[in-house]
């Protein structure tokens, strides 16, 4: 129920349904008081939603500014820091260490599929190559001058977007939920939440849920390598492809 309420909260805030958003936040507040055993998890999810609402308010303000669209997009990605700050403060309040898989990847653990077992590094590499091929088709349709004009924006956007989103979902959130719930619950909440967050930048529900599948892949890579860096690199590649294929601006 808490996960469903969390997903509804992200959706309501993304669509700027103020009344429904406040109702969901009130529900979390009641849950926080009523269920002492799950106060850390409740506080973590509630802080995310509150900070996500601040994220929306900030970006609505940025939208009214007379600055280039590229600058607005970069500020949008930087303001993901609201959610990071909120979750860090919750950890400090509950005297918990903030963990986000900040270490060198361990590629030894294989990924076990229903009928096959594959080593993590080839799985990661194949995923990157597949995305390069898919996005490469769209990129090749673009004019060379257009691609050059977006170079610095593309690199800056892709780095900020990948690092901030991975620290939020596969870093702090996944680590915290995994420690106090189950691995399956942690992967489910972080993957679907990650996908639904894209509603805030204009993606459809169907596409946002499809992005949740990518969230599962990022989570698997993080857990198997015990490191956030493989998913960050994977995410950077996809972000570059999305910029140059015209999905971002």
Is there a domain that residue 165 lies in?
Answer: yes
Rg (C-alpha) for the chain, rounded Å, is 18
Q: Give the model confidence (pLDDT) of 168-185 as tens digits.
A: 999 999 999 999 999 999
Give the C-alpha separation, 190 to 168, whole Å. Answer: 9
Distance, in Å, from the CA atom of 57 to the CA atom of 6, rounded to the nearest integer, reads 19
List the beta bridge partners of residue 117. Answer: 112
User: Whole domain around residue 71: which residue ranges?
Assistant: 2-244
Is 91 part of a structural domain of the chain? yes
Please report whether residue 216 resides in a domain.
yes
**Each residue of 195-223: pLDDT tens digit?**
999 999 989 999 999 999 999 999 999 99
Residues of the chain predicted below pLDDT 50:
none
Asked, for residue 230, whether it belongs to a domain, the answer is yes
Q: How far apart are CA 209 and CA 118, in angstroms?
A: 26
Determine, yes or no, domain membership for 234. Answer: yes
Which pLDDT score is estimated for 138? 86
pLDDT at 229: 98
Q: How far apart are CA 158 and CA 150, in angstroms?
A: 12
* pTM for this predicted structure: 0.95
What token pair was written down for 43?
């506080």
pLDDT at 31: 92
What pLDDT sits at residue 114? 74
Q: Is residue 249 part of a domain?
A: no
Question: Residue 245: its pLDDT value, please?
Answer: 86
- Under 8 Å between Cβ of 110 and 117: yes
Q: Which of 193, 156, 168, 5 is nearest to 70 (CA)?
A: 156
Would you call 249 exposed, middle or buried from its count of C-beta atoms within 10 A (0-12, 13-18, 19+)?
A: middle
Cα atoms found within 13 Å of the Cα of residue 85, Cβ hemisphere only: 10
* C-beta of residue 135 within 8 angstroms of C-beta of residue 245: yes
In a domain, 7, yes or no: yes
Task: Report helix, strand or coil for 9.
Answer: helix
């Amino acid at each position: 129920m808490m996960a469903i309420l969390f997903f509804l909260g992200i959706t309501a805030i993304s669509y700027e349904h103020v009344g429904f958003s406040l109702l969901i936040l009130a529900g979390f507040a009641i849950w926080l008081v009523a269920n002492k055993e799950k106060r850390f998890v409740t506080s973590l999810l509630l802080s995310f939603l509150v900070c996500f609402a601040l994220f929306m308010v900030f970006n609505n303000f940025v939208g009214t500014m007379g600055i280039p669209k590229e600058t607005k997009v970069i500020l949008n990605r930087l303001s993901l820091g609201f959610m990071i700050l909120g979750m860090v403060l919750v950890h400090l309040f509950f005297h918990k260490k903030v963990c986000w898989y900040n270490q060198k990847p361990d590629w030894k653990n294989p990924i076990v599929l229903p009928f096959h077992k594959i080593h993590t590094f080839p799985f990661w590499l194949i995923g990157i190559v597949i995305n390069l091929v898919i996005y490469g088709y769209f990129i090749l349709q673009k004019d060379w001058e257009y691609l050059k004009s977006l170079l610095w924006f593309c690199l800056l956007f892709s780095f900020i977007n990948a690092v901030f989103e991975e620290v939020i979902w596969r870093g702090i959130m996944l680590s915290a939920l995994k420690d106090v719930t189950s691995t399956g619950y942690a992967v489910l909440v972080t993957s679907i939440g990650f996908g639904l967050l894209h509603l805030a930048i204009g993606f459809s529900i169907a596409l946002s849920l499809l992005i949740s599948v990518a969230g599962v892949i990022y989570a698997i890579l993080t857990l198997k390598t015990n490191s956030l860096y493989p998913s960050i690199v994977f995410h950077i590649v996809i972000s570059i492809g999305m910029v140059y294929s015209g999905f971002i601006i």
